[in-house]
Amino acid sequence: MKHAVVIGGTRGIGAGIAGELRRKGWRITATGVGAEEVSEYAAQYPDDVCAQLDVRDNQAVAAFFGGIEKLDGLVNCAGILARGAEYEIDVFETVIDINLTGTMRCCLAAQPLLAESGGAIVNTASMLSYFGGPLVPAYSASKGGVAQLTKALAGKWAEDGVRVNAVAPGWIETEMTEALRADPARNQPILGRTPLDRWGKPSEVGALAAWLLSDEAAFVTGAVYPVDGGYSAM
């Protein structure tokens, strides 16, 4: 049975990805930053391994991956946004540290295990990897960075047999977007620009991530795939 670690897998898009991998027969280790969300996930999915992990902590990340014997897939899905507060430099730095540098920390820690197994990485970029978000400068910058980091690591680690790709979600039904979906003044413009005229589901991002980790995508690396119902094409 193949083993995947889903960083940020206890909620939102990460949980959707973990669910699709589980459905396809993968063994799952999911991490979350909060003790409560980790406990709730563990109760709901007792067959998964669940751990609390702060991706800003170099030692904690190293210790976490040091305890894993075999790894076939890594999904980096830990992320935050702080909207207007991101114009404060300390908030900006925190968002970058979690979304971008945290992704790099986990990639570096997992790479030896993945090189041994011939495994793959899926990072989480965003539609904001392609255009700016005036209310979220740090989130936009971090997700643009994730897209370029994905391409850089793909080029570097191909010689080790490690593929690196990214998904770029658009407007997805998660806790993070609940307020937007509930506000007609915000919801309607989003749907109006989305050709498929609906919000995406975490499982739909998960289906693509699962394919990118699978042997069916053996000749795919360095790619960033939009999952946004056509939003970024408009």
- pLDDT digit string, tens, across residues 150-191: 999 999 999 999 999 999 999 999 988 888 899 888 999 999
Q: Which residue has the tokens 């003044």?
A: 185
Is this prediction's pTM over 0.75?
yes
Q: In Å, what is the CA distance from 61 to each residue of 13, 24, 209?
A: 21, 27, 22
pLDDT tens column, 132-145: 899 999 999 999 99
The string of DSSP letters for 169-234 reads E-SB-SGGGHHHHH-HHHHHHHHHH-TT-S-B-HHHHHHHHHHHHSGGGTT--S-EEEESTTGGG-
Structure tokens at 167: 């998904």
Computed over every residue of the chain, the mean pLDDT equals 96
- The number of residues in the chain equals 234
The string of DSSP letters for 9-55 reads TTSHHHHHHHHHHHHTT-EEEEEESSHHHHHHHHHH-TTSEEEE--T
- Respond yes or no: is residue 130 known to be catalytic: no
Q: Residues 41, 45, 130, 139: which is the catalytic one?
A: 139
Per CATH, the homologous superfamily of domain 3-170+202-227 is NAD(P)-binding Rossmann-like Domain (3.40.50.720)
